[in-house]
Amino acid sequence: MKQYQLRLYVTGETRHSLRAIDNLRALCDEHGLNDDYEVTVIDVLQQPQLAEDDKIIATPTLVKLLPPPLSKIIGDLSDTDKVLLGLDLVAKAKDQGGNFYE
């Protein structure tokens, strides 16, 4: 079983959806997850019930199912610090002013 189980909700093959997929894959590869993660990409146009069950209100949205706690990150995942924080890969991240926050 993979340590990280992720679901990425997208809407079709829009520019934002494709960018989120690319950003997530690059981030996982660049930050040491290598073979220790599983990503399921869910198109809400094809599987709306899954989005409703997970209470997805916007896309793209990344849901971290494992390890707990569950977290959701909305957007194209281009803000690496916020995504790493949401995935619990760093204890702290910098805001846009360069200040650390948790």
The DSSP-derived string for 35-67 is: TSEEEEEEETTT-HHHHHHTT--SSSEEEEEES
Task: Fill in the DSSP letter of residue 31.
Answer: T
Report the pLDDT value the prediction gives residue 53, as an integer from 0 to 100.
95
Residue of 91, 65, 49, 47 lying closest to 1 (CA atoms): 65
Report the pLDDT value the prediction gives residue 30, as an integer from 0 to 100.
87
- Tokens 């924080």 correspond to what residue? 85
- Residue 92: pLDDT band with limits 50, 70, 90: very low
Report the pLDDT value the prediction gives residue 51, as an integer from 0 to 100.
95
Residue 7 vs residue 90, higher pLDDT: 7
What pLDDT, in 10s, does the model give residues 24-78?
Answer: 999 988 887 877 889 999 999 999 999 999 999 999 999 999 999 999 999 999 9
Report the pLDDT value the prediction gives residue 13, as an integer from 0 to 100.
95
Report the pLDDT value the prediction gives residue 65, as an integer from 0 to 100.
94
Residue 72 corresponds to which tokens in the numbers above? Answer: 């959701």
Distance CA 30, CA 95 (A): 20
